[in-house]
Structure 1
């Protein structure tokens, strides 16, 4: 599946209309409240849609009226367009009579770059204008439904390219992961006892960190060793994880670790919150089979500057294997990347805006200042207004 080249969003939360080109490395910078988290949350919503849980996810967010741009009196629907090379997907959501969510329209297929009016193909039908009794092409995936029709079309055993597009889109969006490791307190799911076979992928909140690391140690030892070595780099007392099925129930496992020159097993709650968060982030960025898209919101929170340096390098390395979107306010992370990797997010007149930096525009400044210094000076935006 080609990488996601562009996303267009309108009517969602603080986003009135946003058109963002994407690369493998995408560093979102901006002040608090600019809308970085809103951009990332939309990808999470699309992931839930691909899993057939759109209604649940929207309901949990407070209903569609809660995520419409300035509410239903100002905005009637949310429109989304995605471009993956020559493959396109578009959908539009509006409120149903019961305050739930309904699709105004949904389309998928090969992009028609020669037409701005219908970029994702026309509804199926005969060229003479008469109704066709064949099954509809997935170019037009119908309207009035409450969950994506990609799931329905992906199940159809048709070999034609248009039908395969639905499968590819669904598979890619299902793999997207927006990771949040802010909950590292006493009751954090990362510290809980988990099923040892919950290891297909690292969950967004890190709750299955122990079984996932156990799986990596057994099946992908090279990647496991790299994760361990990164933890040693920022926490020199750390020797290794102590991963083993629980004696009283071998279907369960919990996160344990040990120090250098000791065989005493420590538990996850004996790690600092920042170290535990770094372990999760290193696991995300070094996992052997990453999702098609990794999204991380402010990964630098709580980390020591030296750990952020390592984290920035891991983000850059991961982007060679998959697509990464990181929202940050870290000068350390910003300086690790080129201007073309950076998307400046601002809030202007109440709406979120985003634009990618251009090295040529900043050439005279970059000869004397670092990218983070220019950001602090508010040369290209992304800072709070005075």
Structure 2
């Protein structure tokens, strides 16, 4: 998927703590920096909602949040709708959601946008009054007339469906990443890395250079790690399954994934996501530094910067060591103003004198950048 599918402008209104974010610019690398409760998770949750919409699962996603009232900014008594416009390349996707008496949402409006040299700015309506996004159905059935309008529907659906939210926080004993996964499910890395073993096995077989790069990078942060031992076996349904077993240096003993620390598993997931071949055009990762030791965080910063040359990266953090790995133009300060989440870019020139003596992380810790808890 081409980098032209990356997001250039984003408008979100009435969604969770984001009462109004208007035509906000996103670049190749976007590091959301803010304290707990500032609204970074609301930003990530917006993309999870988009993913659910493209899967025809908006109703299920909304009920999982609790109800539409929990999704609307400060509840239905204060906010009557969610509206959004996301622009990527020459195209865009705009929708407005209204809450229903069943505590879910109905589409009050859904439109595609196309701004090409032959047609100029053009809006393509997809109807209204339904509970699941119409765009996936238009894409599947190709009901729009031939020409640029059908092409716009195809482009918009494939672009939005390609954006991926990664969440590697679950490293419990029952986490999917620690269990066997079907070899057939190794084409692309799942959002929770539940198919990590199958994905790495495919890379080991088909993309040996990529696999070796992943292995070497993991070893930088986990020196005792030598390699994975990925051996398919018959599963309960006669399909082949593989587990994330591994070996350490100078030993033939095979360890299970449960014998890796939580931080090590998360780092392995992050390295695989950031070094994967044919990556999504945009990836979103919430607090990737969780459970990592300082050197692994330094490596993570380098990986994120490198990945931004191949894909658009959006990451949220509150880690001083991780912030130190970036430039002021990479940062988006997230904080609360009168209860709602606001986003701002930094003015690098105004920080020049500060940066002569302090790192970016130190400036954030001193509350020079903003985004710190307010007393």
TM-score normalised over the length of structure 1: 0.91
The correspondence of residues 1-386 of structure 1 with structure 2, limited to 5 A, is: 1-19=4-22, 20-111=24-115, 121=122, 139-154=124-139, 155-156=141-142, 158-246=145-233, 251-386=240-375
Gaps of 5+ in 2: none
Distance in 1 (alpha carbons) for counterparts of 2:88 and 2:181: 36
What is the deviation of 1:316? Answer: 0.6
Aligned Cα RMSD in Å? 1.8
CA shift for structure 1 position 59: 1.7
**1:44 offset after TM fit, Å?**
1.1
Distance 2:94 2:289 in 1: 33
CA distance in 2 between counterparts of 1:162 and 1:289 reads 27
SS of the residue aligned with 1:9? strand
Please report how far the alpha carbon of residue 310 of structure 1 lies from its aligned counterpart in structure 2 after TM superposition.
0.6
Alignment partners' CA distance in 2, 1:43 and 1:58: 13
Residue-by-residue CA offset, 1:126-159 (whole Å, 9 max, x unaligned): xxxxxxxxxxxxx111111111121232231754
CA distance in 1, matches of 2:345, 2:272: 28
- Report the Cα distance in structure 2 between the residues aligned to 1:250 and 1:51, rounded to whole angstroms: 26
Q: CA deviation at 1:364?
A: 2.2
Provide the C-alpha distance between the structure 1 equivalents of 2:159 and 2:138, rounded to a whole number of angstroms: 15
Deviation of 1:247 (Å): 5.5
Q: Deviations over 1:195-222 (max 9, x none)?
A: 1111121111111110010011111111
In structure 2, do the counterparts of structure 1 residues 73 and 173 end up closer, same or farther at CA, with 3 Å as the change threshold? same
Off by >3 Å, runs of 4+ in structure 1:
119-122, 247-250
Write the deviation string for residues 216-266 of structure 1: whole angstroms up to 9, x where unpaired.
Answer: 111111111111111111111111000011267561111100011222211
CA distance in 2 between partners of 1:164 and 1:152 (Å): 14
Preserved CA contact (<8 Å) 1:48 1:174? no
8 Å Cα contact 1:346/1:382 also seen in 2: yes
Q: CA deviation at 1:174?
A: 1.1
| Distance (Å, rounded) in 2 between the aligned partners of 1:146 and 1:250 | 37
Query: Which deviates more, 250-259 or 30-39?
Result: 250-259
Q: What secondary structure sits across from 1:5 in the alignment?
A: strand
Shift of 1:354: 0.2
CA–CA separation in structure 1 for the residues paired with 2:248 and 2:357: 44
